[in-house]
Amino acid sequence: MNSRVAAVAFGIVTIVLVTFLVIAYAYGYRPNWEERKIETTGILVATSDPVGATVFVNDKVQTATNSTVNLKPGIYKVKIAKDGYFEWEKTIEIKREEVFTTNAFLFPKAPDLRPITLNGALNPTISPDETKIAYIVASASATANGVYTLTMSGLPVINNINARQIFRDNGLILSAAEGLIWSTDATTLIASLSSKLYYQLETDRLNLSPLTISTHDLDLLTKPKPGLNGRIYSPDETKYLYVATASGSLPKVLTTYLPGTNPTSEVRNLIAGKTYVYDIKEDRNYLLPDGKYLWFPTSRHLVSYTKNEIAVLEYDGANKAIVYTGPFVDGYVFVWPNWSKIVILTSLNQPSQNSENLYTINLR
């Protein structure tokens, strides 16, 4: 009986001890055999997309993504590199019993450029849900001219095969349209003519006789969502992009430290006219370089574009990757929903009104 009790007691003690050791290991406790003591470490979770990149800590190779590295508390320069891709680099602070995750998205140094349209694309505009692009073709055959919508799906894009013709413009009525306007719910397009006529087009079918609508109907169909106040929210609504309308100081909201907070230095003294990103969750504010911006679907990145340059960078302004240098029409830059491509309007020949086509910059 006593031996049975002893065996049970030994088993319980063993389970408790093993559980304690597992929990301590998970929290970063490691034995230092040379100094004969237990040290507390932090954990670096090195993840990347694509995987299989090399992880450097203070310029020394540590491992490959996706894996973890235990580090003593301190400041470290972490670099993630893969052949053919821009390097990811950030200086981080490792703290006791805390986990820092890199979430490094690597972008190709030489992405290829492929045409979506071949017969020109006039007045392209993206839908409010950012899943379709509408445009006008006016330099093709009589049956091919008209209004098209391109669905930005995960399917391969092969020379307009993803596009649907929703209006056949035999008489080139809409080729002179000032623009295409999406309805707020992204189900309807309105073609605006210079004569102040508005044609309503349903996007799920070929419109044989488009409906003429009034300016009042136009306002109802395209009424913007309330409450944005000039803020452009990230897809996951955890951050927003904005231009400061006045100089001033941004007050702190959070007074407690959040583990794993972005280590990039923030800027809370605002300058009128400058562009910033505010992280709602972490209550941190980042100044961006001058340029035009739109959100990348990851919610952790932005697309920036200036004259003859398009780049992807993190929302705090770090790790800028220039993915395209060359001509493109200002303002016509769109991002594929699964972030595999960026769409631009450009002409690789002598520019003219009908020679500009939609091209994809392929990131994956």
Domain residue limits at 68:
2-105
Are residue 141 and residue 186 in the same domain, yes or no? yes
Same domain, 92 and 194: no
Q: List, for residues 155-211, the tens digit of each pLDDT value.
A: 566 555 678 999 887 665 666 667 899 999 999 999 888 777 888 999 999 998 888
206 in the same domain as 87: no
Taking only the tens place, the pLDDT of each residue in 49-88 is 999 999 999 999 999 999 999 999 999 999 999 999 999 9
**Predicted pLDDT at 115:** 92
Q: Are residues 50 and 125 in the same domain?
A: no
Domain end residue (candidates: 105, 120, 137): 105
In a domain, 97, yes or no: yes
Which strand ranges, in their side-by-side order, compose the sheet holding 74-81? 60-64, 54-57, 74-81, 88-94
Of 72-76, 142-146, 156-160, 297-301, the one with minimum mean pLDDT is 156-160
Q: What is the C-alpha to C-alpha distance for residues 198 and 212, in angstroms, rounded to an integer?
A: 6
Say how many domains are in the chain.
2
Q: Which of residues 80, 105, 130 is at a domain's end?
A: 105
Same domain, 204 and 339: yes
Half-sphere exposure (CA, 13 Å, Cβ side) for 44? Answer: 28
pLDDT at 222: 83
Strand ranges of the sheet holding 321-325, from the earlier edge strand across to the other edge: 292-295, 301-306, 309-314, 321-325
Q: In terms of domains, do 35 and 173 share one?
A: no
pLDDT tens digit string along 202-245?
Answer: 999 999 888 888 888 888 888 776 555 567 999 999 999 999 99
Under the banding of pLDDT at 50, 70 and 90, the label for residue 21 is very low
Residue 197 lies in a domain: yes
Alpha-carbon torsion angle 320, 322, 327, 329, nearest 10: -40
The pLDDT score that the predictor gives to residue 261 is 87
Are residues 219 and 350 both part of a single domain? yes
Residue with more model confidence, 286 or 195:
286
Instruction: Report which secondary-structure segment, H or E, holds 270.
Output: strand 269-270
Tell whether 82 and 204 lie within a shared domain: no
Residues 156 and 97 in one domain: no
Single out the residue in 63, 79, 105 at which a domain terminates. Answer: 105
User: Distance between CA atoms of 77 and 91, rounded to whole angstroms?
Assistant: 4
- Indicate whether 91 and 218 sit together in one domain: no
CB 225 within 8 A of CB 233: no
Q: Tell me whether residue 95 is in a domain.
A: yes
The span from the CA of 152 to the CA of 124, in Å, is 13
